[in-house]
Amino acid sequence: MHTRLYLMLPSIKTYVIGVILTASVLLFSVLSAFGDTYAVNVVANTQNENFYGIDTTGNFVVNLSNSLNPFNSSCGGVSGASTCFATYYAGQQNPVYSTTAPSLNWDNGTACTAGTLSGICNNEHELLGGYLGDVKGVWSGTDPLTDFLTGGSFDGGFINALGDAVFINGANDTLVSVVDTPGVLLHELLVSAPAPVPEPPSIWLVGLGMMVSAMTLRKRRNYGRVRVKKITRPGKAR
C-alpha cells in the first residue's frame, strides 16, 4: 500500500501542476477580453470648428459657426445664419444641422492631470494628452503599452461617464471622436449571460487542457504500475 502511494505521488503532483497552468492560461485569456476597447474616428479636418459638448449617451455637437461664409451663409437650409451646429447622434452616420445648439443632457467631464499628462476625466475614464516616455499622443490612461489612442495632441475636449469622448487634435488640425466599447463585467457574464459559443482561441485552450490532462493521466498509470516478477521456488521433482 505504501509503495503504491509513493509511486502515485509524482503523477498527482504533475496532474495538479497541469491543471493550475491550464486554469491560469484560461483565466488570463478571459480577463484580457473584458478590458475597454476604443474606436477612434476623425470627424472633420478643420482649424476653425470646435466641439460644443457631449451628452450622457455619446451624442456630441460640433460648433460650425466660425466656418460660415459671412457673405452667403447657410446652415441646415437656413440662409443668412450667423451660427450653426452639427449634432452627431449615436448610431447615425450623418449629422443634424441647426442654427441653435440642441438641448441635450450634457456630460462633459472635468479637467484632470495624471503624471506628465493632462486632459479630461469622468467616472474613472480618462482622455489625456502629452508624452509617455518618448511618445507624444493622446491616451486613455497612463500605460504606454495599452492606453495609446492616437498620435498628435490633446487641445481641448469632453468625455462622458461611459468613456465616450471628443477632442481637438491640434497637431493634425482634426476633430476626433472616441467611442468606448467596454467588455461585459465578469460577474454579469457568469451569472446572467448564456453560455457563448467557443471562439477559436477558446477551443484551442480547451484542447490544450485536455491534452495536458491526458498526458498526466498516462503518467499516472505508468507510475502506478508495479511489475511483479514471478519467483519459482525449487521443489521436489515430480
* Three-class SS state of 171: coil
Q: What was the pLDDT predicted at 72?
A: 86
Q: What was the pLDDT predicted at 71?
A: 87
Q: What was the pLDDT predicted at 34?
A: 46
Surface-to-core class of residue 47, CB atoms within 10 Å of its CB (0-12 exposed, 13-18 middle, 19+ buried): exposed
Give the residue carrying C-alpha cell 478590458: 35
Q: What was the pLDDT predicted at 228?
A: 47
Name the pTM for this structure.
Answer: 0.63
| CB contact set of 125 (below 8 Å; sequence gap of 6+) | 109, 140, 159, 161, 162, 163, 165, 180
Q: What was the pLDDT predicted at 41?
A: 93
Q: What was the pLDDT predicted at 14?
A: 54
Alpha-carbon distance of 14 to 222, in angstroms, equals 13
Low-confidence ranges of the chain (pLDDT < 70): 1-35, 182-209, 211-238
